[in-house]
Amino acid sequence: APSGDSAPSKPPASEKAGSGAAEIATALGQLSFEGFLVFWRLILQDCADTADRFRAYASLVHDAVAGKGEIEVCNDLLRLFEVVMNFLLQKVGVLLQARESVHASSEIADWPRFLALSHDSLNRIRALQDSCRQRLSPQTPYIGVDIRAGVRTILYAQTKS
């Protein structure tokens, strides 16, 4: 910039993130129910695809270290699966919460389709988690957590409102 003129200041990173979140919330709020249902189906399919890819990755790592005197990695891989999927599903939950006011005024007849899609997809993700656990078959029993719980809680709250 010429002397005396200052370059336009950039907003702090936190403002950029906030405005991006607001833009996403606005865009999601403007979708019709059918448009959001398509978006939601694709997001949940991406989550299931991620779970399936991570299941394959965990299996490859497990097979690579099995029988080589390495420490038992099954529980670590299962925990990593949970952490990755929990993080992803938390972000999906934020998208769902961004439409809370729109969902509160949705047609009651539309809601069962949305719930069925949501629960079917979440159950598929859980089945992939269970499949990973069976494939790795840890020597020490691994209890784990229900990675669907956060999104289910949001769905329940939005169903009640």
Mean pLDDT over 51-57 rounds to 96
Q: What is the pLDDT of residues 89-146, one digit of tens each?
A: 999 999 999 888 887 787 888 889 999 999 999 999 999 999 999 888 777 777 788 8
| Average model confidence (pLDDT) across the chain | 84
Q: Are 71 and 140 in contact (CB under 8 A)?
A: no
Q: Tell me if residue 136 falls in helix, strand or coil.
A: helix
Instruction: Please report which confidence band the pLDDT of residue 3 belongs to, taking 50, 70 and 90 as the band edges.
Output: very low
Instruction: Locate 55 and state its tokens.
Output: 């299941």
**Nearest in space to 122 (alpha carbons), one of 41, 24, 64, 16:** 41
Q: Rounded to two decimals, what is the model's pTM? A: 0.79
Q: What is the pLDDT of residues 71-105, one digit of tens each?
A: 678 888 999 999 999 999 999 999 999 888 887 78
